[in-house]
Amino acid sequence: MTGGMWHRGLKLSAGLTIFIACMHGVAFYIFQHMDADIFNRDQRTLIITSSSILLSAAAMLSQAMESVTRIFYTRSDLELIITSPARIQRLFFVRLVAIALSGCIMSLVLIGPFIDVLAWYHGARWLSGYGVLLATSLATTAVAIIFTVILFRAIGPRGTRLAAQIVAAIIGGALIVGLQIAALFSIGTTSRFEFLRSRFVVQHAPALGSPFWLPARASFGDLSALGVVAVSGLAIFIAVALIYAPRFSGYVVHAASASRRQTRFATAASRFIVRNPAASLRHKELLLLLRDPWLISQSLTQLLYLVPPAVLLIKTFASNGRAVVILVPILVMAAGQLSGGLAWLTISGEDAPDLLGTAPMPSWRIQRAKIEAVLECVSVLFFPFVVCLALFSPATGFIAAAGIAASSLSASQIQLWFRSQETRRNFRRRHTSSRFATFAEAFSCIIWAAAAAIAAERSWVAIVIGLIAIGVLALVRLFSPVR
């Protein structure tokens, strides 16, 4: 993150300090507006605390699976490890410890301020939450190792690279999406907090003496429960790491040999199809997007959060209510974010820029073909939602389609203005290449979503919001390096 440069380290420290301070402010604001009885040690509080721990564990497990997979496939220091005088088992053990600690640190940055504020308001006993987070990180890392190794043995190194990323994406969002869907069908709202406090959940929760509540009781400051949770998490991690660390070298060798093996795409039944240059470029970009397992896993997380809107849409059809308006800004935001990622891959992540630079066609046609490929992918994914909205209300369907198109075009255009030559493997870190472009893309998607939501309410204010979005794009164009 710093590249060994001290001035980058200072900037990173300053930014992290400001972020943590802001998170403390958010925590103070939230807890000031909560009822005091929420923090009692009753069953509702145990349910909410346990759910928060489970959500954190799901995020840690998703990140740990992705990190373990990167050890197999994306680390290019296998020769250095094999020729090192240190024992390979120790090197891989250290890497597994680093994965657990990195997941814990990232969770502490987000959850630590809330633990601090709870300790400020309700006593130092809540500081035991730090120990619960560390134990959870160790346990989830052990589970991630087991899951990844099972996939590796079951479907081989080629299939594991894609399957592990998809499983990690599903685990990261499945619990949140599941809670929203359960809340939608039980109490008629997508509020997870209200659902967890509902009578339905309380009646079906385990008894107060169940071991299921040990992590929550440890968070309350119960030292005996904290000791059980900490020892259990540490013991599980050490046992799994000692068992699998000596075998990691073999897995890495198999993964490296599988990734270097060439795949035969040409078969006896395949034929070379002659297309015009623009169609050939669109076909090439679509093939590259479909063949990229890392992209599929990253995009799957965004598409997974479309499940609650889809369920809401189905329920709205059944009840004939007006909640369908809520879907419009959600779809517009999701389309903009997805288009931004795909546009970065097709424009900045081009693997053969020199070849395209010598192609017998102008550069503007090349860029247009790339954006058309992005819009084709977005259109296929969001077309069913727009059709369902149009069947319910033609005007709402048209507004959703217009908002999706505007948000997608804006995000793609911003990526075009701030394009830079990168490799596709840096897709996870694309937001660090241009902070201005990242915030501009997010801000543009938010404004278009607001305009679509207001338009769905049949208000002329949407025109003003749309003009503001166009003005933001014009301002972004003034600061773009392309200009």
pLDDT for residue 329 is more than 80: yes
- Best mean pLDDT range from 27-41, 366-380, 445-459: 445-459
| Cα 97 from Cα 92, distance rounded (Å) | 9
DSSP per-residue letters across 144-157: HHHHHHHHHHHHHH
In degrees rounded to 5, what are phi and psi of residue 93?
Answer: -65, -40
3-state secondary structure of 180: helix
Q: What is the mean pLDDT of residues 194-202?
A: 72
> Rounded distance, CA 56 to CA 103, Å?
10
Using one digit for the tens of pLDDT, what is the confidence trace for 65-102?
877 777 766 555 666 776 777 777 788 888 888 888 88
94 vs 259, higher pLDDT: 94
Burial class (CB in 10 A: 0-12, 13-18, 19+), 270: exposed
- The pLDDT of 298-316, averaged and rounded, is 61
Burial (Cβ within 10 Å: 0-12, 13-18, ≥19) of residue 210: exposed
Say whether pLDDT at 401 is over 80: yes
Residue 39: name the closest of 228, 227, 226, 221 by CA: 221
Query: Over 60: is that where the pLDDT of 270 sits?
Result: no
d(CA 320, CA 149): 48
pLDDT in tens, 232-241: 999 999 998 8
Query: Which residue, 138, 129, 393, 97, is CA-closest to 245?
Result: 97
- Domain spans, the chain: 37-259, 277-478
The helix or strand, by DSSP H or E, that contains position 248, with its residue range, turns out to be: helix 248-260
Residue whose C-alpha is closest to residue 467's, from 451, 446, 445, 443: 451
| 62 closest CA partner among 116, 125, 1, 107 | 107
Which segment of 89-98, 311-320, 443-452 scores lowest on mean pLDDT? Answer: 311-320
**Cα dihedral sign for 90, 95, 98, 103?**
negative
Q: Where are the alpha helices (DSSP H) in 393-460?
A: 394-417, 435-456
pLDDT tens-digit map of 172-184: 666 766 666 666 6
